[in-house]
Chains A and B, each alone.
Chain A
Amino acid sequence: MLQALKFVKKKHLTLENLIKKCKKNDRKAQSELFRLYKDQLYLLSLKYSRNQVEAEDNLHDAFMVIFQKIKTYKNKGSFEGWMKRITIYKAIDTYKAKRPIAIEINDDILENDSVDVIVNQLPLDEILQLIQELPDQYRLVFNLYQMDDYSHKEIADMLGISEGTSKSNFHRAKQILRKKIADAQSSLSLKTKV
């Protein structure tokens, strides 16, 4: 227990030192910070982006902002949370800059309840693909509400939509995901039969 606490304390001191050096534009410190947080923030970018290329662009832009804004970072709250917020805001900016793709919403989506098994079986890349294939606004709302615990009111403010639209977008996003997973389940069961 004591050893774990010591480790946590050492990590905290290292991070504090790293942040100090990054504020002075130390390239080595910046490289180290990137190495520590790139995986986490890349996964976050993949959830919010349409594809891998867009996710990498988002991560690049996010770190540019992080290294710029770190000079004004006042060590209040979680540093990790601060970086995640920057990454999410960058993804939202990209969405707002691009013209939203018009989608046809099919109401004849059948609800399939037994999806928990298939979700655990599907590879990570396929799950990410399912989310990335969602329409842009649905994807953003789904991630913001489900993955990052923003309220519908906060989502409405960030995206410039109403609270009601945010709620309906989230509901529709889940419906689409459920259908896709069900289709994935069907194809899996067919494979096993063969």
Chain B
Amino acid sequence: MEKKEDIGMLLKKRLTEAEKAPDDTLWNRIEDSLDKRDRKRRGVIWFWVGVSGLGLLLIILFTNGFFSSEVDTVGDVSTETEVSEKLKEQDSESLQNNEYTLPVIDENEKELEETEKIIANSEEKSTPTSSESEAENSTATKNTIKKKAKKDPYSDEKVIVETTYHYYNSDTKEAIETTDKSVIDSLMNQAGVLVDSVEITKAKVMPMKKKDSL
């Protein structure tokens, strides 16, 4: 009896020894597909490069935005300087006219004017001081005026000030406040001094009394 060989083994033997070539154009097909894939991959890479570049640019712009607020503060300082200069001019004019019509009025400036009046009225009682200290005081007064004038520089209100007169007698320690000039005149007459004869200049500013004492 012949030994029957399995059909599977026979076919395997037959096919293992064989060779078969594909069509010659197959490599061209494969090459085209490879080129397509490479182009697509390059496109994806450039897309992500673009996205990351845009993201970086946004981060830089966003970061710089944090430092932009510094520019605003510099502008404020220059504006304040202009206002203080304007107020200087107005102060010098008002001293000559003895009436104040200021674009900016607040309570602190009122006190300044009143203080000047007190200094003028009590000139005879002043303690002799050296020219240097007077200069320092005048400077201090100027600075005080400047500083106080800086407040609220943008207000356009015009107000006519009602002048308040102060009288202080250092001997008797008597202090009087009045808007009536004649009261002060009479007191000064008693003391033997005429108010209008006193020249009020910044150079003759007496040592400033503290606010609390007033």
Within 8 A of A (CB), among B1-34: 2, 4-12, 14-15, 18-23, 26-27, 29-31, 33-34
B10 and A116 contacting across the interface, CB-CB below 8 Å? yes
The verdict on B106 contacting chain A, using a C-beta distance below 8 Å, is no
B150 to chain A, nearest CB (A): 73
Selected contact of B11 from candidates A34, A39, A68, A146, CB within 8 Å: A146
The verdict on A172 contacting chain B, using a C-beta distance below 8 Å, is no
B26 and A38 contacting across the interface, CB-CB below 8 Å? yes
Count of residues in B whose CB is under 8 Å from the partner chain = 27
The verdict on A138 contacting chain B, using a C-beta distance below 8 Å, is no
A124 and B18 contacting across the interface, CB-CB below 8 Å? yes
Within 8 A of B (CB), among A54-90: 55-56, 59-60, 63-64, 67-68
A139 to chain B, nearest CB (A): 12
A-B contact pairs, 24 of them (CB 8 A): A27-B34, A34-B27, A38-B22, A39-B19, A40-B19, A42-B20, A42-B21, A42-B22, A43-B20, A56-B26, A59-B22, A60-B33, A64-B33, A64-B34, A113-B4, A115-B7, A115-B10, A124-B20, A127-B11, A127-B15, A146-B9, A174-B6, A174-B8, A181-B7
- Where the two chains meet, the residues of B that have a C-beta atom closer than 8 Å to any C-beta of A are 2, 4-12, 14-15, 18-23, 26-27, 29-31, 33-34, 37-38
Q: A27-B34, A119-B11, A174-B7 are in contact. List 9 more A-B contacts (CB 8 A).
A: A47-B15, A60-B26, A60-B29, A113-B2, A113-B4, A116-B5, A124-B15, A124-B20, A146-B11
